[in-house]
Amino acid sequence: MTMKLACISLPGRGANDRFLAGIATALQDDGIRLCGTVQSNIERTDRAKCDMDIMVLPDGPVLRISEDRGDLARGCRLDADALETAVIGVAAALPHAQMMIVNKFGKQECEGRGLATLIADAVERGIPVLVGVNGLNLPAFRAFTGGAETALPPETDAVLTWCRRQLAEIAA
C-alpha cells in the first residue's frame, strides 16, 4: 500500500494558502470530514507584511498565528503558542476525520514540531494527507516522508481527483 500523503507547491506569496483553502471547501462541499489547517493572509495598509490567520478544520476556530512586531521587524513572526493551540484542535478532530489538509510544512514542522507528529499519525492511521510545501522546505519535507510523498500538480482537478481516489480506496 502506498503512503496516502501528497504535497503541492505553488510559487508566490500565499498561493499555497489560497489553493488549499479552495480544495478544503470543495471537499467539505462533498461531505468529507476534514481535519487540519487552512491559512488566510490579511493584507494591511500600514504594514509591509500581512497578518496570518489559520482556521482549524473542520469548522474553527480561526487563530492569528502571526505576531505584529512592527513594520521594521526582522525574523520569524510566528506566534508559536497560537500554532500550538491549532495543533491541539487538529489532534481533537483527527479521530473523526476522513482526510487531513495542512496549509504549510513550515519551519516548525521541519524541526519536528508544529503539525509534524499529527501528519505522521494521520498517515499511520491510513488517513490521506495533503500538505502545502514551499520550495525552501521541500528538502526537509522529503526527508520527513522518506521520499514516499506524491507531488501533485497545482491544478484543482488533479488534486481533487487524488483526494477522492484516496478516499475511495479506503471505502473499498
pLDDT per residue as tens digits for the range 69-101: 655 555 556 788 889 999 999 999 999 999 999
Q: Which residues of the chain have pLDDT under 70?
A: 1-2, 44-50, 68-77
Residue 72, pLDDT score: 57
User: What is the pLDDT at residue 42?
Assistant: 72
User: Residues with Cβ < 8 Å from 30, sequence gap 6 or more?
Assistant: 164
- Provide the pLDDT for residue 105: 96
User: Quick one: pLDDT at residue 3?
Assistant: 75
User: Between helices 116-125 and 80-93, what is the axis angle to 10°?
Assistant: 10
Number of H helices, E strands in the chain: 6, 7
